[in-house]
């Protein structure tokens, strides 16, 4: 590959990333990503995949494709995607920073975790991967994925990118309900994604 080809490819990648940053800023401006926006983003990523070597574009395409695999962007996937777009857009760090343990009702000390036959529910944005990837890893260890916070839930796993404003976010209701069940004496445990990953030897 000659110097002119390398220069042109680098310039193209730079323009693509600049465009993606602009899209991320626009789509995350109102604090939510809807179905049409996610499908538009997917289309743009597909169109730019083959002419780009940018890992940002390739990784985001994989995440969005997984989210839209069933044809529906649900509320949790929307929140997960908005977190990713905000990080791409370079929003202030408090939007995506790791939550402070003191601000979240995590079990302290963190419990010994087992997976076989235990019910898990994830909320917030996970650093490990998409929600489906987290589900797959859990099921691979013998865990069962729950659809909501119920009295027989064993573990609520909080994604690494749950922010300090969790009580005002859509997933805050799950955390509050789980904390109420736990505090009433039920054996429900609230753990961080990091603790889940270590217990499952996934880190």
| Tokens 């989210």 -> residue | 67
Its CATH architecture, for the domain 101-199, is 3-Layer(aba) Sandwich (3.40)
Predicted pLDDT at 189: 96
Q: Count of alpha carbons within 13 Å of 58, Cβ hemisphere only?
A: 7
pLDDT at 27: 85
**Domain map of the chain by residue range?**
3-91, 101-199
- The angle formed by the CA atoms of residues 79, 21 and 33, to the nearest 5 degrees, is 25
Residues of the chain scoring pLDDT < 50? 1-8, 92-102, 165, 168
Residue closest to 146 by CA, chosen among 117, 179, 119, 175:
119
> Helices (H), strands (E): how many in the chain?
7, 4
Asked if 127 contacts 96 with a C-beta cutoff of 8 angstroms, the reply is no
Distance CA 23, CA 27 (A): 6
Q: Tokens in use for 47? A: 């169109």
For the entire predicted model, the pTM comes to 0.55
pLDDT of residue 60: 84
pLDDT in tens, 17-28: 778 888 888 888
Q: How far apart are CA 78 and CA 94, in angstroms?
A: 19
**Interstrand relation of 119-123 and 155-158 (parallel, antiparallel or unpaired):** parallel
User: For residues 58, 63, 67 and 73, what is the CA-based torsion angle, rounded to 10 degrees?
Assistant: -90
In sign, the C-alpha dihedral spanning 15, 125, 108, 168 is positive
């Amino acid at each position: 590959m000659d110097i002119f080809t390398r220069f042109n490819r680098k310039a193209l990648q730079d323009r693509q990333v600049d465009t993606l940053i602009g899209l991320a800023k626009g789509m995350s401006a109102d604090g939510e990503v809807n179905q049409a926006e996610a499908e538009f983003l997917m289309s743009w990523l597909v169109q730019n995949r083959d002419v780009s070597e940018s890992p940002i574009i390739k990784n985001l395409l994989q995440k969005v494709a997984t989210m839209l695999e069933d044809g529906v962007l649900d509320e949790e996937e929307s929140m997960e995607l908005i977190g990713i777009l905000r990080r791409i857009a370079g929003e202030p760090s408090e939007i995506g920073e790791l939550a402070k343990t003191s601000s979240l009702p995590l079990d302290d000390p963190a419990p010994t975790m087992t997976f076989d036959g235990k019910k898990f529910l994830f909320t917030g944005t996970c650093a490990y991967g998409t929600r489906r990837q987290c589900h797959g890893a859990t099921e691979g260890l013998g865990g069962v994925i729950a659809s909501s916070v119920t009295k027989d839930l064993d573990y609520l796993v909080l994604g690494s990118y749950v922010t300090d404003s969790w009580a005002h976010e859509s997933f805050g209701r799950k955390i509050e309900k789980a904390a109420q069940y736990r505090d009433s004496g039920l054996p429900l445990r609230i753990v961080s994604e990091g603790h889940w990953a270590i217990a499952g030897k996934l880190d």
